[in-house]
Amino acid sequence: MLLTTADGNTNISIQALVGILVDTQLLVNESCTSNGQYTFCVIKSGENLTTEPITWTGVHRYTAEGSESAKCSGISGVFEYTSSDFGSIKGEFNSDKTCPNTTYFVSPSGNDTNTGISPQDAWQSISKINSIDLKPGDAVLFEGNNSYNGNIYLDDKDGNNSANAIKISSYGTGKATINAGSRFGIYAYNTSGIIIDNLIIAGNGMNTNTNSGIQFYNDLAGNIKLDFIEITNSEVYGFKDFGIVIGAWNENSGFSNVLIENNKVHDILDMGISSYGKFSSTKTGYAHSNITVRNCEVYNIKGYSKNSHSGNGIVLSDVQNSTIEHCTVYNSGSGNTNCGGPVGIWYWDADQVTIQFSEAYNISSGTGCDGGGFDMDGGVTNGIMQYNYSHDNDGSGFLVGQFTGARPMQNITVRYNISQNDAGTNGGSVSLFNGQNSLSMKDIYVYNNTFYLSEQATNTNSATIKYTLWKPVSNNINFYNNILFAENGADLIDVPSGYAGNFAGNLYYTSGIFRINYNGNTYNSLENFRGTGNETFENFPVGYQGKPMLTSKGNGGIIGFDNKLSSLDAYKLKADSPALNAGISFSLDRGPAIFMEVIYPKPAQMTLEPMKKYK
């Protein structure tokens, strides 16, 4: 910044002006600190300022290093002038700022009459933050290990620049806590270009709060996708509706390039982490795109009685190109009273989506149904569930289902997963259901999984592979190279009359009575089951009936958040396992089974035969 002297000929930089004011004792340059990017110096009026009773304080912010073009400086502050003629006059002053953005500091020891631009001259309240417009690149930093009462509200005058995001975070030691009371914690309306990091967002309790923790919402007309959101390294709890939610409600307007990473979300009444849009079974396109949920821990999402399912951990909908990975969801759903959920981690009405490297356990159906681990639900196309561990859930470990009125479902892959003792009250290790015509659900591929199920007294109709009796499921439904291990009365397969699937290369074992219920008939051996046309592949008998020789079957236990699923010792194949390096080979097998050694059941009838390629 340059100023011009009275003669109009000499340019003076703001730095030089400060130096002159200090030298003439018009200004006192007090304590200075640096945050790595800027130096902040508290300034006060000097002895020679004026004979009139005027006082002023402020902050001089500048960069002392770097090229001349990168240097910047500015002065902001407040003044008070007292005159016998005019009385007291108070005001604020700001120089032109050559620095590209502003960092505002908030501290319990601050004052809202301060400049807010240095830790020594911090503001005190959230209401002060809400009173200003945050420009692209600005930041709001709350002093860590302190609490602040209020609700942060951002609108289209805040941020809205994906190339230069604003940031809301903590400074100093520890995380700052935003005490939201009964309202929202942070609500961003029709804006993006926002980073929320290293905060604790606390409601006053899931049963007393009436809102959500962190909410982004877009209802702009014209199918506008607002770009760039990051919510990272934060903890959210004590809210009714959502912990973290990306929402929209105007055709295909929504958000793009959203990252939700390294967060802990817990003690929420309805849903942990979610996205939604304005649903229509006839529309094309999706409200949101490129949402990633990674390395998040979600638990104690209780659920309650409402007109639909409640108690979901992570559920994303109306989204295209999305991944949920390395997440752990547990101890949720106990207050649910409806069907259609809850589920630990799932998608519905979505395209090109993946759930991987995640664990879900102790998901309850409440007094309703479901309560499963993982799910690709109504209207999902091009969905993958892979390298996941589901265990000890009331509902199915892995669910693929098409609800009535959904967009068509197609091309769903379930591979390289483990289910242990799921289906406590309903479903199976893997379950399929269809609420529409058979053509609305097709091209399902379930392969290279391990399903271990010991039937529980609360679900005497369980099976490792189970279809729900509703509408026919039969259009290119495939089960290849899975290990099916049923104990304590559980069935191996349960497919009702009028339904169908393609089974090949699977290993079947039960410690009790061998039972496959398929298309209205019961089969007591693999050989008999081949009479249905299943477990034959290119005119060769395939599949295997016998022990898979697994380590620690039924004892996988809890891996826990932030631990790699590859550390799971159970369900590895012993050296003499018939499932080693065997099974059918087919063109959809697009990757190695890096999570489990399992998978490739070895049919005795094929030991001397070359691996066959699925055509």
DSSP of 51-92, one letter per residue?
Answer: SS-EEEEEEEEE--SS-GGG--EEEEEEEEEEETTTEEEEEE
Let me know if residue 500 belongs to a domain. Answer: yes
Residues 331-362 have pLDDT tens digits of: 999 999 998 889 999 999 999 999 999 999 99
Q: Single out the residue in 78, 94, 110 at which a domain terminates.
A: 94
Q: Which domain holds residue 483?
A: 372-615
pLDDT in tens, 265-281: 999 999 999 999 999 99
| Strands annotated E in 502-593 | 502-504, 507-510, 516-518, 521-523, 536-537, 540-541, 544-545, 585-586
Domains in the chain, number = 2
Mean pLDDT of the chain: 88
Residue 446 lies in a domain: yes
Would you say residue 608 has pLDDT above 90?
no
Residue bearing the bigger pLDDT, 57 or 142:
142
The answer to whether residue 331 sits within a structural domain is no
What is the rounded distance in angstroms from the CA atom of residue 614 to the CA atom of residue 530?
18
Q: What is the pLDDT of residue 614?
A: 26
Distances in Å between the Cα of 431 and the Cα atoms of 229, 405, 442 are 35, 20, 14
71-104 residue pLDDT tens: 787 777 777 777 766 677 777 776 655 677 789 9
Instruction: Among 68, 94, 120, identify where a domain stops.
Output: 94
**Domain assignment of residue 392, yes or no:** yes
Q: How far is the C-alpha of 530 from the C-alpha of 525, rounded, in Å?
A: 9
Residue 109 belongs to a domain? no
Q: Is residue 361 part of a domain?
A: no
Question: Region 156-174: what's the mean pLDDT?
Answer: 96
Tally of CA atoms within 13 A in the half-sphere of 379 that contains its CB = 21
Instruction: Confirm whether 511 is domain-assigned.
Output: yes
Q: What is the average per-residue pLDDT within 373-378?
A: 97
pLDDT (mean) for 481-496:
95
The answer to whether the predicted template modeling score (pTM) of the entire model surpasses 0.75 is: yes
Average pLDDT over residues 476-486: 95
Q: Quickly state the pLDDT bin for 319 (edges 50, 70, 90).
A: very high
In the prediction, which pLDDT does 120 show?
87
Percentage of the chain lying above the pLDDT 90 cut: 69
Q: Is residue 363 part of a domain?
A: no
Q: Is the pLDDT of residue 430 over 70?
A: yes
Please say which residue of 73, 94, 115 terminates a domain: 94
